[in-house]
């Protein structure tokens, strides 16, 4: 089981996105995602969020919102991702050693190479949905099932 955070920094109608291109052995290789990463021992979700955003962007968050828990299941692997948005920070953005950072319009996100399940939670963020639990089940890179708050979703 893996514990992670993922954050979408919001500036107007744009999110800061990371195009994961620099690591050869990266489950997210060539995908566009928010910023975040794995918990370190003793970290709370907020600790991990602040550390990962700072490491990947150079920015120090000053305002964020915990939006949901996303459970990824793939074969015998499971990840619990703590999903956040942030709307205020300090510092200067710097290049990321895991890929290219870019501010992308929220409407343009769906034209990018995304995991299919990311499209579901991005819509929930767009709708300002209340805190949610989303379960995404993959076979390889194909989403085969999804549930929101324990209720199956139509993924076709």
Name the 3-class secondary structure at 27: coil
Name the 3-class secondary structure at 99: strand
Name the 3-class secondary structure at 155: coil
Q: Over its length of 156 residues, how does the chain's per-residue pLDDT go in tens digits?
A: 999 999 999 999 999 999 988 666 757 677 899 999 999 999 999 999 999 999 999 999 999 999 999 999 998 899 999 999 999 999 999 999 989 999 999 999 999 999 999 999 999 999 999 999 999 999 988 999 999 999 999 997
Surface-to-core class of residue 126, CB atoms within 10 Å of its CB (0-12 exposed, 13-18 middle, 19+ buried):
exposed
Separation CA 75–CA 115 (nearest Å):
16
In terms of residue numbers, what domain contains 86? 2-152
Separation CA 33–CA 7 (nearest Å):
9
Structure tokens at 106: 């929220």
Separation CA 127–CA 77 (nearest Å):
30
Provide the CATH number for the domain around residue 106.
Answer: 3.90.79.10
Strand partners, 39: none
Query: Looking at the 3D structure of the chain, how many domains does it have?
Result: 1
Separation CA 70–CA 121 (nearest Å):
8
Surface-to-core class of residue 87, CB atoms within 10 Å of its CB (0-12 exposed, 13-18 middle, 19+ buried):
middle
| Per-residue model confidence (pLDDT) at position 132 | 98
Separation CA 29–CA 22 (nearest Å):
8
Other CB atoms within 10 Å distance of the CB of residue 124: 17
pTM of the predicted model, to two decimals?
Answer: 0.95
């Amino acid at each position: 089981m893996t514990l992670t955070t993922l954050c979408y920094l919001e500036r107007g109608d744009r999110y800061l996105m990371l195009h994961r291109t620099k690591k050869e052995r990266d489950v997210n290789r060539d995908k566009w995602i928010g910023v975040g990463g794995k918990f370190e021992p003793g970290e709370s979700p907020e600790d991990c969020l602040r550390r990962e955003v700072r490491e990947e962007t150079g920015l120090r968050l000053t305002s964020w919102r915990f939006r949901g828990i996303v459970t990824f299941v793939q074969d015998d692997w499971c990840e619990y991702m703590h999903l956040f948005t942030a709307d205020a920070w300090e510092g200067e953005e710097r290049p990321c050693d895991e890929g290219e950072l870019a501010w992308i319009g929220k409407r343009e996100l769906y034209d990018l190479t995304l995991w299919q399940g990311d499209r579901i939670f991005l819509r929930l963020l767009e709708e300002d949905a209340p805190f949610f639990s989303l379960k995404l089940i993959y076979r390889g890179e194909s989403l085969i099932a999804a549930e929101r708050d324990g209720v199956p979703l139509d993924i076709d």
